[in-house]
C-alpha cells in the first residue's frame, strides 16, 4: 500500500528531494514490517524468544545458522558473541585471567532482510565484529507496544551453543505482575568426577599443584563453563581443548575444579569474582598449597576500558567448578550461572510481588566428598527511560555446595555477584537492585568452610547505549485514547530514540481513522507532539530518521485517538424563592438528544457562597430530575451529564433562600418582689435575616394561666413595658419578614412574696479589744426561699457600713472592738436581690480598763547571776501576769495586790542585752489589758562563760607541736604545765606552734576570758626525739657453728626507745627478739642476715643489719708433718665445733691406714700403729654428727 504525504496547511503534496522521497518509500516498507510484530496490548509468560547457533559469519551483513526455520524476514533479532576471551595459563597465580577480549560480549539488535536456506541477511551491515568459532548465537526478539508479564517469564537454558537469554522491546509500557526469572539459565556447571582410587595431593605435590588436567584425568574436578575460547601464548590465541577440562585453575569466569581428594569447586564469576572451593578431605596431609578450585575471575577489565568507560559488551555469567567423588562418597555439580535479561522499553511498571531475576544457581545437594561451586550472578540490561512503582532487580551469586562427612571434604566456593546495566545516570527511586555474592558452602558437621570462601559483590553500570542497528526504538503513546468532540488530546509522547547516528529528525503524520492517506503535520518536528482539539477519530504516527548514510528510517506504532460526539440538550428548570430551612420544589430536566455513546449518566451539583465551588449532591442523585433537601442558603444547581468520555454541564437553576430570621431573642428573665413593676422587655441585639432592616413587623403575646393571648392594646413595637405584677407572668414576640417568620423564646417575670421574720440577738458588754459573742440571726421567710445576707455596723456615731470578716453569713462573728458598735442584718432573696429586709439593731459596749508597769535597776552580769524585777498594777483584781525576757515566758496568777516583785536569772546569747517586758495582763473581768496600758521594762547585758575547746593533743616526733584550739568567747591564752616552751606567733593565738626545750610529756592549758567570766581546758602532748642511727654489732664468721649471740645498743636519753630483731635472710631463730642482746639458734650455712630496728614513739624508726657467715667444714688439700711448726698436722677447720665425728684415711690400695673417733686435728702422718706413712696422696672420709659426710684427697709431704 502506498503512503501519500499531504500538508495540513494547504493540503498539497509535500515536495522533497529525490533521496528523501526514496527514504520515505523505504520507511513505508519498514513501517509495515515493524508494525506486523508490534502488538498493542499483550500478556506474556513462559518462553517468548527462539534461539539458533551461528555456524559461520558469511559477511559483514549475513550469517549462517544451524536452523533458520524459526526466523522470518523483517524479524527483529539479537546477534550476540557468547564467548571468545583469551586466558593466561601462567604464572599459576594468574591462571585463567582474561587477557585478550577478542570478540567476546559483542552484540547488536538487527532486522532480517532476507533468508536463503540457513543463511540470514540483515538490513544493515554489522556495527561490530563476530566469529562463529567463539560461540555466536542469534535470538529472535519480540516487540510490543504494551505488554504485561502475567506468569513467570523465562528462557531456554544455555545448552552450550544457544539459549539463556530473554530479550524484548516495548515501545510503551512493560507491566511486571510476575517474575522475569533467568536464574540458573547461564553457563553450565561442572559435573562431578567419580574417581576409582583415592589419592591425596600430598602424595605427589608437583603433579597435584597443576592448574589444568585433561578430561581423562582423575586428579581433579571439572572446570565450570565460562566465557573463554582461547589460551594465550606470547600474546597469541590458541583454542582451548580437552587438555584444559579439569583442574583448580579458573576458566575465565568459570570456577576451577578441586584438585586431589574431594576438594571443592570454585564459584562462577561475572562482575563479582567467584569464591574459592574448600581444600581436600582432612584425612590428607597438607600438600603445601590450596587444592580447592579457584573462583572464576571477574569481568571488570572486559566491561570497562582503561579510562573506566563501559565497553558496551554483554557477558553470560560463569558457572561453578566441580569436585571429585567416589562410589562411596558422592560429589555435587557446580551451579549454573545466571542468565541474561535484556529489556528495551519506554516505561516499566513494577510491584513488590514481582522481580527481574538472574541469580546464579545455588548448589542444593549435600556432598559426602567434594561439593560444587555456586554459579555467578547473571546479567540484567535495562535500557528503560521511565520507572513506575517498585522495580526489583536481582543478580545474586549462588551458594557453594555443603559437605556432610566426618572427614570434612571441600565445600564449594560462593558465586560472584552479577551485573545490572542501565541507561540512566542513576537508578530512579523505586528501582531496587541486589547483586550480592553467594555464600560459601560449609561442612555441616563441623560447621567449618575448610578454606572455601564467599564470592565478591557484583555491580551496577550506568549510561548504557543499547546497540541497535537499523532500529531507532520509535514508539508513541498518550494517556487518553478516547476524547470528546472538540476536546484537546493529551500530549503525544515519543520514545527517546536509540541507535543510529545522532541527531535525529522527527516527522509527525495524521489521518482520519479508517482513511488510507497520511498527512504530514506541518511544524511538528519535535520528539513529542501536542495536537489541537479534534472533531473526529484520528490516527497519528511518528517517523524518526538518523544521520547515517544510508539513513535509518523508523516509524512508530499507529496511535488512534477515538472522538465521541459532544452531548446536546442538557437543560434544567424551576427557579424558586424559599425561606432558609424550607424544602424547595423538584428541579426538572430534559433528556439529552445526542452525545457520547448514547447512554447517559446524571450528576447533580450545587454551589453556595459558603462552598464557593461546585459540589456533588449526596442524596437523590443520579436521576434526570432532582428534589433538593431543605436549604439554608441561596443555592445554584447544575446537572452534569456523562456519556462515554463526554461530559456536559447544564446552565444553573437558582433557588433564592431568604435567611431565616435570627437574633429574635428577648432580655433575660426578671425576678421582682410582690407588687413591684418590672423593667421593659426589649431585644438585646438587632434582628437579622429575612429581607433585612426595615422589613420586620412584630406582635406580642402573654401567658398567665397556661395559654398564650395577645397583650392588651395589640402591641406592635419591637419592645414592651408591663405594669406592676402580683403573680409570675410570661411574654413572647413574633417577627415576620419576606417568606420568613420567627417567634422568640418566652420572657418570664417571676414574682416573689415579701421577706419576714428577720431578727438578730441582744446587745452585749465586752472587754476592750475583745470580740463579742456570735450575733445570731433568725431564719427568714418569703422571697424565693434562698437568702443572702449582709451584716452592717456603725462604730460610735459613724454611718452604717458593711461589717468586716464574713458579713454574708446568716450569723455574724465580729472582730475585736475598740469602740462601742451597733449591728444590723439585711436579708436578700430572688434574682438580682429582688426582695430585701432590714433587722433590728444590737449594741456592743466595754468594761472599765486596767493598767500595769515594770520597775528595777538595769545592770551588767555574768551568765547565771540574779536581778530584782518589780511590777505595779491598777484596775480590777485578781490579775494574771505573764512577762518575758524575749525568749521565754514567766507566769504569776491570781495577783490581788497592786505591787508584785521577784528575782530573775537572765539567760541570753553571749554579750547580748536582756530585757524583761509585759507579755500579757488579764484583769478581774477576764479582759486582757491593752498593750498601751502596760508600761516599763528592766534591761541590761549578760556575758556568757566561755566553753574553751583546746583542740586535740597527741604524740609528735620533734620539739614542735601545732595547737588547734577553737576560739569561743572573749580572749584566749596558752600555758604549759612545766619546763620552758615558746609559742609562735604568741600564746594568745589558738593555732599557735609550741616548741619545748626538753623532750617529754606536757599538759597545755587554753584559758578564755569573756568580760569577767573565765574558763579553761587542757590537752596532753608527748614530744619524742628522732633517733639518728643505731648499731646492730659487728659481722661474725664461723665454721660449722649453728648458734651465737647478737648484741645491739639502745641510745641514752631516750627512755621510751625500744628495739626489735628480725631475720632478713636465713632460717635462724631469735630467742629474745625484743632484747638488744640475745641468742640466735638454727643458723644455716652461708650468710645469715639480721636487722635491728630502733623505735622511739611516733618517730621514724632506724635500722642496722649484721651478717653472720657460717662456713661448712673445710679440709686442706695437703699438709707437711716435718716438725717445722707450720702445717705439721691435718687441721680440719670447724670440726672442733662438731658434737661427734670420725676420720678415716685410706691409701691408694684402699686400705685404712688411720682412723680416729672425735678427731682433734692432731694427725701427723702416722698410722694407728704410730708408723710414719710415706709421702703420697691419701683419701679421707669424715663423718660429722651422724648427718654429714665429707670426702676428699689429702697430699702428705714431709
Looking at residue 32, what is its pLDDT?
A: 38
In order, the DSSP letters of 640-668 are EEEETTEEEEPPPEEEEEEPPPB----PP
User: How far apart, in whole angstroms, are the C-alpha atoms of residue 294 and residue 446?
Assistant: 23
Residue 934 lies in a domain: no
List of E strands, 693-820: 697-703, 709-710, 729-737, 740-743, 747-752, 764-766, 787-795, 801-802
3-state DSSP call for residue 1119?
strand
Please indicate, yes or no, if residue 130 is contained in any of the structural domains: no
- Give me the residues paired with residue 1020 across strands: 1003
In a domain, 129, yes or no: no
**Cell numbers that stand for 89 in this block:** 595459563
- Give me the phi and psi of 1091, to 5 degrees please: -115, 140
pLDDT in tens, 47-56: 999 999 999 9
Residues 94 and 193 in one domain: yes
d(CA 89, CA 236): 12
Calculate what percentage of the chain has a pLDDT beyond 70.
96
Residue 413 has a pLDDT of 97
Query: Which whole number is the average pLDDT over 739-749?
Result: 91
Residue linked to cell 506486523: 36
pLDDT band at 796 (very low <50, low <70, confident <90, very high): confident
Q: What is the mean pLDDT of residues 407-415?
A: 93
Cell numbers given for 294: 579457584
| Residue-level pLDDT at 968 | 85
Is residue 938 situated within a structural domain?
no
Q: What is the mean pLDDT of residues 453-465?
A: 94
Strand order in the sheet with 236-239: 98-100, 85-87, 228-233, 236-239
Residue-wise pLDDT for 244-254, tens only, equals 999 999 999 99
User: Does position 36 have pLDDT exceeding 60, yes or no?
Assistant: no
C-alpha cell at 762: 441582744
Assess whether 1007 and 1050 both reside in one domain. Answer: no
Same domain, 190 and 271: yes
CA atoms within 13 A on the CB side of 303: 24
**pLDDT-derived band of residue 887, with 50, 70 and 90 as boundaries?**
confident
Phi, psi of 448 (to 5 degrees): -125, 140
- Alpha carbon distance 3, 517 (integer Å): 6
Question: Is the domain of 368 the same as that of 411?
Answer: yes
Q: Of 792, 824, 846, which residue constitutes the final position of a domain?
A: 846
Q: What is the rounded CA–CA span in Å between residue 1137 and residue 1114?
A: 12
The reported pLDDT for the residue numbered 247 is: 96
Give me the CATH number covering residue 730.
2.60.40.10
Residue 65 is assigned to a structural domain of this protein? no
Average confidence (pLDDT) over 601-628: 92
CB 760 within 8 A of CB 823: yes
What is the structure's pLDDT at 69?
A: 97
Mean pLDDT of the chain: 91
Q: Running DSSP on this structure, what letter comes out for residue 37?
A: T
Phi, psi for 844 (deg, rounded to 5)? -110, 125
Grouping H, G, I as helix, E, B as strand and the rest as coil, residue 29 is helix
Q: How many C-beta atoms surround the C-beta of residue 694 within 10 A?
A: 6
pLDDT tens for 168-180 read 999 999 999 999 9
> Given pLDDT bands bounded at 50, 70 and 90, which one contains residue 38?
low
Res 116: pLDDT: 97
Is 1 a residue whose pLDDT tops 70? Answer: no
Q: Where are the alpha helices (DSSP H) in 892-1050?
A: none
Residues 486 and 514 in one domain: yes
CB 265 within 8 A of CB 290: no
Of 634, 658, 682, the residue that ends a domain is 658
- Whether 508 shows a pLDDT value over 80: the answer reads yes
1074 three-class SS: coil
Q: How confident is the model at residue 39 (pLDDT cuts 50, 70, 90)?
A: low
Q: Residue 1048: which pLDDT band, with cuts at 50, 70 and 90? A: very high
Beta bridge partners of 153: 46, 180
331 with 236, same domain? yes
The residue ranges of DSSP E strands in 155-243, in sequence order, are 165-176, 180-181, 193-194, 228-233, 236-239
Task: Count CB neighbours of 695 within 10 A.
Answer: 16
Asked whether residue 1186 falls in the same domain as residue 1151, the answer is yes
Structure confidence at residue 705 (pLDDT): 84
7, 520 Cβ separation under 8 angstroms: yes
**Residue 104 CB: number of other CB atoms within 10 A?**
27
User: What average pLDDT score do residues 320-335 get?
Assistant: 96
From 1094, 1089, 1080, select the one nearest 1049 (Cα to Cα): 1094
Question: Do 817 and 868 belong to one domain?
Answer: no
Please provide residue 541's backbone torsions phi and psi, each rounded to the nearest 5 degrees. Answer: -150, 145
Give pLDDT, residue 942.
Answer: 85
Q: Is residue 337 part of a domain?
A: yes
Q: What is the pLDDT of residue 14?
A: 31
Tally of structural domains, the chain:
9
CA 1175/CA 214 separation, integer angstroms:
94
Alpha-carbon span 622 to 618, nearest angstrom: 10
**Residue 213, pLDDT score:** 96
Which whole-number Å values give the CA distances from 1052 to 244, 513, 955, in the listed order?
106, 140, 20
Domain membership of residue 245 (yes or no) is: yes
**Structure confidence at residue 910 (pLDDT):** 60
Determine, yes or no, domain membership for 118.
no
Q: Which residues contact 1162 (CB under 8 A, 6 or more apart)?
A: 1129
pLDDT at position 310 is 75
Do 831 and 961 share a domain, yes or no? no
| pLDDT tier for residue 27 given thresholds of 50, 70 and 90 | very low
R_g over Cα of the chain: 64
Q: Which domain holds residue 986?
A: 954-1024
- At 18 the pLDDT is 33
- Final residue in a domain of this structure, among 531, 564, 597: 564
> For residue 909, what pLDDT is reported?
64
Higher pLDDT, 3 or 612: 612
Query: Quick one: 494 and 459 in the same domain?
Result: no
Distance, in Å, from the CA atom of 544 to the CA atom of 6, rounded to the nearest integer, reads 18
List of residues 6+ apart from 594 with CB closer than 8 A: 565, 567, 568, 569
Residue 781 has pLDDT above 90, yes or no: yes
- Find the distance separating the first CA and the last CA of the chain, reported in whole Å: 154
Same domain? For 507 and 440 the reply is no
| In the predicted structure, residue 22 carries a pLDDT above the cut 60 | no
Residue 425: pLDDT band (50, 70, 90) is confident
Domain identity same for 463 and 477: no
Task: Write out 475-497 in H/E/C secondary structure.
Answer: CEECCCCEEECCECCCCEEECCC
* Per-residue pLDDT at 10 exceeds 80: no
550 cis-preceded (ω within 30 degrees of 0): yes
Amino acid at each position: 500500500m502506498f503512503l501519500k504525504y499531504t500538508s495540513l496547511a494547504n493540503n498539497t503534496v509535500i515536495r522533497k528531494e529525490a533521496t528523501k522521497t526514496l527514504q520515505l518509500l523505504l520507511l513505508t516498507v519498514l513501517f509495515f514490517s515493524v508494525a506486523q510484530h508490534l502488538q498493542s496490548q499483550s500478556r506474556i509468560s513462559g518462553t517468548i524468544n527462539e534461539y539458533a547457533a551461528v555456524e559461520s559469519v558469511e559477511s559483514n551483513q549475513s550469517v549462517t545458522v544451524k536452523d533458520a526455520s524459526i526466523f522470518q524476514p523483517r524479524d527483529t533479532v539479537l546477534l550476540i558473541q557468547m564467548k571468545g576471551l583469551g586466558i593466561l595459563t601462567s604464572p599459576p597465580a594468574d591462571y585463567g585471567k582474561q587477557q585478550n577480549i577478542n570478540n567476546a560480549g559483542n552484540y547488536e539488535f538487527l532486522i532480517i532482510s532476507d533468508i536463503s536456506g540457513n543463511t540470514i541477511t540483515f538490513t544493515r551491515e554489522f556495527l561490530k565484529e563476530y566469529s562463529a568459532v567463539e560461540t555466536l548465537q542469534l535470538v529472535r526478539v519480540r516487540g510490543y507496544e504494551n505488554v504485561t508479564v502475567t506468569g513467570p517469564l523465562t528462557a531456554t537454558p544455555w545448552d552450550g551453543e544457544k539459549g539463556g537469554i530473554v530479550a524484548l522491546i516495548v515501545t510503551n509500557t512493560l507491566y511486571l505482575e510476575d517474575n522475569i526469572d533467568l536464574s540458573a539459565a547461564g553457563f553450565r556447571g561442572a559435573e562431578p568426577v567419580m574417581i576409582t582410587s583415592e589419592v591425596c595431593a600430598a602424595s605427589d605435590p608437583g603433579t597435584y599443584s597443576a592448574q589444568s588436567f585433561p578430561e581423562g584425568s582423575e586428579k581433579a574436578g571439572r572446570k565450570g563453563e565460562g566465557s573463554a575460547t582461547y589460551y594465550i601464548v606470547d600474546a597469541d590465541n590458541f583454542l582451548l581443548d580437552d587438555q584444559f577440562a579439569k583442574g583448580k585453575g579458573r576458566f575465565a569466569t568459570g570456577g576451577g575444579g578441586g584438585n586431589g581428594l574431594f576438594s571443592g569447586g570454585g564459584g562462577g564469576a561475572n562482575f563479582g569474582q567467584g569464591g574459592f572451593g574448600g581444600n581436600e578431605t582432612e584425612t590428607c596431609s597438607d600438600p603445601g598449597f590450596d587444592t580447592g578450585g579457584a573462583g572464576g575471575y571477574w569481568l571488570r577489565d572486559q566491561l570497562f576500558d582503561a579510562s573506566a568507560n563501559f565497553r558496551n559488551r554483554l557477558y553470560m555469567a560463569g558457572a561453578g567448578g566441580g569436585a571429585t567423588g567416589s562410589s562411596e562418597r558422592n560429589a555435587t555439580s557446580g551451579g549454573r550461572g545466571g542468565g541474561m535479561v535484556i529489556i528495551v522499553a519506554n516505561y516499566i511498571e513494577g510491584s513488590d510481588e514481582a522481580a527481574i531475576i538472574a541469580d546464579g544457581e545455588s548448589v542444593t545437594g549435600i556432598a559426602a566428598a567434594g561439593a560444587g561451586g555456586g554459579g555467578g550472578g547473571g546479567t540484567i540490561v535495562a535500557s528503560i527511560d521511565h520507572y513506575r512503582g517498585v522495580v526489583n532487580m536481582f543478580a545474586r551469586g549462588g551458594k557453594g555446595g555443603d559437605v556432610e562427612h566426618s572427614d570434612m571434604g571441600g565445600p564449594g566456593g560462593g558465586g560472584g555477584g552479577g551485573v545490572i546495566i542501565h541507561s540512566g545516570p542513576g537508578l530512579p527511586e523505586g528501582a531496587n537492585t541486589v547483586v550480592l555474592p553467594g555464600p560459601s558452602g560449609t561442612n555441616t558437621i563441623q560447621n567449618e568452610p575448610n578454606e572455601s570462601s564467599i564470592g565478591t559483590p557484583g555491580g551496577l553500570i550506568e549510561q548504557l547505549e543499547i546497540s541497535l542497528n537499523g532500529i531507532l526504538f520509535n514508539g508513541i503513546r498518550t494517556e487518553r485514547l478516547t476524547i470528546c468532540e472538540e476536546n484537546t488530546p493529551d500530549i503525544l509522547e515519543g520514545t527517546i530514540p536509540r541507535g543510529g547516528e545522532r541527531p535525529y529528525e522527527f516527522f509527525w503524520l495524521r489521518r482520519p481513522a479508517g482513511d488510507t492517506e497520511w498527512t504530514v503535520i506541518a511544524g511538528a518536528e519535535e520528539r513529542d507532539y501536542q495536537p489541537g482539539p479534534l472533531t473526529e477519530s484520528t490516527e497519528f504516527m511518528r517517523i524518526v530518521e538518523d544521520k547515517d548514510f544510508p539513513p535509518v528510517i523508523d516509524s512508530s506504532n499507529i496511535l488512534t485517538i477515538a472522538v465521541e460526539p459532544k452531548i446536546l440538550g442538557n437543560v434544567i428548570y424551576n427557579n424558586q424563592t424559599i425561606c432558609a430551612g424550607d424544602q424547595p420544589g423538584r428541579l426538572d430536566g430534559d433528556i439529552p438528544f445526542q452525545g457520547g455513546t448514547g447512554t447517559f449518566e446524571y450528576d447533580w451539583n450545587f454551589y453556595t457562597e459558603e462552598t464557593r465551588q461546585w459540589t456533588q449532591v449526596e442524596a437523590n442523585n443520579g436521576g434526570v430530575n432532582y428534589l433538593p433537601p431543605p436549604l439554608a442558603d441561596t443555592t445554584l444547581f447544575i446537572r452534569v451529564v456523562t456519556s462515554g468520555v463526554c461530559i456536559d454541564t447544564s446552565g444553573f437553576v437558582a433557588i433564592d433562600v431568604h435567611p431565616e430570621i435570627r437574633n429574635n431573642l428577648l432580655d433575660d428573665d426578671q425576678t421582682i418582689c410582690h407588687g413591684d413593676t418590672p423593667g421593659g422587655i426589649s431585644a438585646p441585639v438587632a434582628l437579622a435575616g429575612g429581607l433585612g432592616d426595615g422589613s420586620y413587623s412584630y406582635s406580642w403575646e402573654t401567658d398567665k394561666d397556661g395559654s398564650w393571648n395577645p397583650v392588651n392594646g395589640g402591641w406592635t413595637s419591637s419592645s414592651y413595658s408591663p405594669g406592676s405584677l402580683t403573680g409570675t407572668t410570661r411574654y413572647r414576640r413574633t417577627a415576620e419578614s419576606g417568606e420568613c417568620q420567627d417567634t422568640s423564646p418566652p420572657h418570664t417575670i417571676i414574682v416573689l412574696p415579701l421577706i419576714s421574720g428577720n431578727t438578730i440577738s441582744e446587745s452585749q458588754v465586752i472587754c476592750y479589744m475583745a470580740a463579742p459573742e456570735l450575733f445570731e440571726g433568725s431564719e427568714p421567710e418569703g422571697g424565693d426561699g434562698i437568702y443572702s445576707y449582709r451584716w452592717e455596723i456603725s462604730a460610735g456615731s459613724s454611718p452604717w457600713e458593711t461589717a468586716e470578716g464574713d458579713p454574708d453569713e446568716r450569723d455574724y462573728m465580729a472582730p475585736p472592738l475598740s469602740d462601742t458598735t451597733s449591728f444590723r442584718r439585711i436579708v436578700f432573696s430572688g434574682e438580682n436581690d429582688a426582695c430585701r429586709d432590714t433587722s433590728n439593731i444590737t449594741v456592743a459596749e466595754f468594761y472599765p480598763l486596767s493598767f500595769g508597769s515594770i520597775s528595777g535597776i538595769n545592770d551588767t552580769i555574768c551568765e547565771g547571776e540574779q536581778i530584782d524585777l518589780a511590777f505595779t498594777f491598777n484596775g480590777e483584781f485578781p490579775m494574771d501576769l505573764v512577762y518575758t525576757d524575749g525568749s521565754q515566758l514567766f507566769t504569776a496568777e491570781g495577783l490581788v495586790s497592786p505591787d508584785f516583785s521577784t528575782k530573775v536569772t537572765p539567760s541570753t546569747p553571749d554579750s547580748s542585752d536582756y530585757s524583761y517586758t509585759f507579755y500579757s495582763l488579764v484583769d478581774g473581768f477576764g479582759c486582757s489589758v491593752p498593750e498601751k496600758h502596760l508600761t516599763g521594762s528592766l534591761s541590761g547585758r549578760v556575758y556568757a562563760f566561755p566553753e574553751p575547746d583546746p583542740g586535740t593533743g597527741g604524740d609528735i616526733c620533734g620539739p614542735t607541736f601545732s595547737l588547734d584550739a577553737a576560739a569561743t568567747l572573749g580572749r584566749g591564752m596558752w600555758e604549759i604545765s612545766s619546763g620552758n616552751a615558746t609559742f609562735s606567733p604568741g600564746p594568745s593565738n589558738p593555732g599557735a606552734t609550741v616548741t619545748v626545750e626538753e623532750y617529754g610529756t606536757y599538759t597545755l592549758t587554753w584559758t578564755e576570758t569573756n568580760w569577767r567570766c573565765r574558763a579553761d581546758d587542757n590537752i596532753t602532748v608527748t614530744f619524742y626525739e628522732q633517733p639518728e642511727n643505731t648499731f646492730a654489732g659487728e659481722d661474725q664468721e664461723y665454721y660449722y657453728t649453728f648458734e651465737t649471740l647478737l648484741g645491739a645498743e639502745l641510745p641514752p636519753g631516750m627512755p621510751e626507745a625500744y628495739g626489735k630483731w628480725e631475720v632478713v635472710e636465713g632460717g635462724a631463730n631469735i630467742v629474745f627478739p625484743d632484747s638488744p642482746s640475745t641468742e640466735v639458734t638454727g643458723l644455716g650455712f652461708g650468710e645469715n642476715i639480721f636487722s635491728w630496728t630502733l623505735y622511739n614513739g611516733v618517730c621514724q624508726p632506724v635500722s642496722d643489719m649484721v651478717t653472720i657467715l657460717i662456713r661448712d667444714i673445710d679440709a686442706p688439700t695437703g699438709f707437711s708433718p716435718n716438725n717445722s711448726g707450720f702445717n705439721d698436722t691435718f687441721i680440719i677447720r670447724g670440726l672442733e665445733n662438731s658434737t661427734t665425728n670420725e676420720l678415716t684415711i685410706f691409701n691408694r690400695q684402699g686400705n685404712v691406714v688411720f682412723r680416729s673417733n672425735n678427731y682433734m686435728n692432731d694427725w701427723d702422718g702416722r698410722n694407728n700403729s704410730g708408723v710414719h706413712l710415706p709421702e703420697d696422696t691419701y683419701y679421707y672420709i669424715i663423718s660429722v654428727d651422724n648427718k654429714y659426710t665429707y670426702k676428699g684427697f689429702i697430699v702428705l709431704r714431709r
